[in-house]
Amino acid sequence: MIELDRAGRSFKVRREVVHAVRDLSFGIAAGEFVGYLGPNGAGKSTTIKMLCGILTPTSGTVRVAGLDPSRRRTALARRVGVVFGQRTTLWWDLPLRDSFELIRLLYKVDRKIYQERLAELTETLDLGAFARTPVRQLSLGQRMRGDLAAALLHAPDVLVLDEPTIGLDVVSKAGIRDFLRRLNAEQGTTVLLTTHDLGDIERLCRRVMLIDHGRLAFDGTLEELMATAPGEETIEDVVTRLYTGGAPPERAPQR
Ligand SMILES: Nc1ncnc2c1ncn2[C@@H]1O[C@H](COP(=O)(O)OP(=O)(O)OP(=O)(O)O)[C@@H](O)[C@H]1O
Ligand SMILES: [Mg+2]
């Protein structure tokens, strides 16, 4: 479903070249739920932008649902849903349901299918109470549920998430996790989840990829990830080790 072959993306910043992603190769099969981890600035969002055609790779190839994202952005949009937790794709001044209607028109979703889908998403994401509220008046958790629904209205095969649980309280977070787990299990939607919340990873992802300085540093199951640092008990400690290049995590002096 997703295929990267030695994909790279660099940026020219004044006279310097920043290699945000280098030589990145991986494949994600249909129906997988994959966590995408890495320290700040590792290249996660850049990867995601290449997957949805916002950025063109400067080297190598990227394929999503058999398409070259930067060349076939419109065709791809029908197959992929994307949520950037840091910013909304909804119309700020419009009620949530009007945003959804615009998305229906943009994606040319059949009205009957749309209505069924909307009813289902309204129930599972509990959107009923604020469907008529302008997006700018929504709380972060409400807005995130709205963004998730917007990304799924056209029933994409692939859902790409960049920090969808950022800033959410424990209850909202649990609700979104539960929703994503069911979406993957019941509808077979392929999910790529970027997050700094290791609880998201532990609870949802069978497979974890870790990127550091633009390169793939780990790709395997959660158990294999834990086994990279024998002696460490928590996923936080294991990931800290990987982020700091094998050095044990710093601990506060014991008194
Ligand atoms: N448009 C751009 N122009 C120049 N440099 C960029 C651009 N976008 C990203 N970068 C650089 O590429 C690197 C990777 O950035 P990216 O946003 O992919 O990181 P990230 O893994 O998503 O980090 P975070 O966890 O902080 O969101 C960083 O060094 C960043 O400064
Ligand atoms: Mg990012």
Cα-to-centroid distance, 43 and ligand 2 (Å): 7
Q: How confident is the model at residue 79 (pLDDT cuts 50, 70, 90)?
A: very high
Residue-level pLDDT at 251: 53
Q: Are residues 144 and 18 in the same domain?
A: no
Which of 44, 46, 210, 212 has the most ligand 1 atoms within 8 A of CB, as the residue to mutate?
A: 46
pLDDT value of position 107: 86
Residues 150 and 162 in one domain: no
- Percent pLDDT > 70 in the chain is 96
Distance from the CA of 49 to the center of ligand 2, in angstroms? 10
Please work out whether the CB of residue 11 comes within 6 Å of at least one atom of ligand 1: yes
The answer to whether residues 71 and 163 belong to one domain is yes
Q: Which ligand is nearest to the CA of 209?
A: 1
156 lines ligand 1 (CB under 6 A): no
State the ligand closest to the CA atom of 46: 1
Q: Do 214 and 228 fall into the same domain? A: yes
Closest-CA residue, ligand 1 atom 7, reads 11
pLDDT in tens, 94-137: 999 999 999 999 888 889 999 999 999 998 888 999 999 999 99
- Whole-number Å distance, alpha carbon 129 to ligand 2 midpoint, is 31
Average pLDDT, rounded, for the chain: 91
* Protein residue whose Cα sits closest to atom 25 of ligand 1: 40
Query: What total of structural domains would you count in the chain?
Result: 2
Residue 250: band (very low, low, confident or very high) from pLDDT cuts 50, 70, 90: low
Last residue of a domain, one of 140, 155, 170: 155
**Mean of pLDDT values over 86-101:** 92
9 located within any domain: yes
- What pLDDT band is residue 253 in, cutting at 50, 70 and 90? low
Domain of 134, in residue numbers: 88-155
In a domain, 254, yes or no: no
Rounded to an integer, the average pLDDT of 210-237 is 93
User: What spacing in Å lies between the alpha carbon of 163 and ligand 1's midpoint?
Assistant: 14
Does any ligand 1 atom lie closer than 6 A to the CB of residue 46?
Answer: yes
Q: Which residue has the tokens 């629904």?
A: 149
Q: In the structure, what pLDDT confidence band is assigned to residue 238 with cuts at 50, 70 and 90?
A: very high
Whole-angstrom distance, CA of residue 239 vs CA of residue 23: 22
Complete DSSP assignment for the chain: -EEEEEEEEEEEETTEEEEEEEEEEEEE-TT-EEEEE--TTSSHHHHHHHHTTSS--SEEEEEETTB-TTTSHHHHHTTEEEEETTS--S-TTSBHHHHHHHHHHHHT--HHHHHHHHHHHHHHTT-GGGTTSBGGGS-HHHHHHHHHHHHHTT--SEEEEESTTTT--HHHHHHHHHHHHHHHHHH--EEEEE-S-HHHHHHH-SEEEEEETTEEEEEEEHHHHHHTSTT--SHHHHHHHHHTTTPPPP-PPP-
42 Cβ closer than 6 Å to some ligand 1 atom: yes
What is the arithmetic mean of pLDDT over 9-27?
94
**C-beta of 86 in contact with ligand 1 (< 6 A):** no
In a domain, 253, yes or no: no
Q: Are residues 176 and 221 in the same domain?
A: yes
Do 132 and 33 share a structural domain? no
Based on the domain organization, do 151 and 161 belong to the same domain? Answer: no
Do 1 and 56 sit in the same domain of this protein? yes
Residues 163 and 226 reside in one and the same domain: yes
Query: At which of 137, 155, 173 does a domain end?
Result: 155
- What is the percentage of the chain residues whose pLDDT exceeds 90? 78
Residue 231, C-beta contacts closer than 8 angstroms, at least 6 positions apart? none
- Ligand that comes closest to the CA of residue 41: 1
- Is the beta carbon of 99 within 6 A of some atom in ligand 1? no
Final residue of a domain: which of 155, 182, 208?
A: 155
Q: Which amino acid is at 223?
A: E
Residues 162 and 227 grouped into a single domain: yes
Q: What is the CATH number of the domain that holds 28?
A: 3.40.50.300
The string of pLDDT tens digits covering residues 48-72 is 999 999 999 999 999 999 999 999 9
Is any ligand 1 atom within 6 A of the Cβ of residue 18?
Answer: yes
Q: What is the pLDDT of residues 161-210, one digit of tens each?
A: 999 999 888 988 998 999 999 999 999 999 999 999 999 999 999 999 99
User: Closest-lying ligand to the alpha carbon of 196?
Assistant: 1
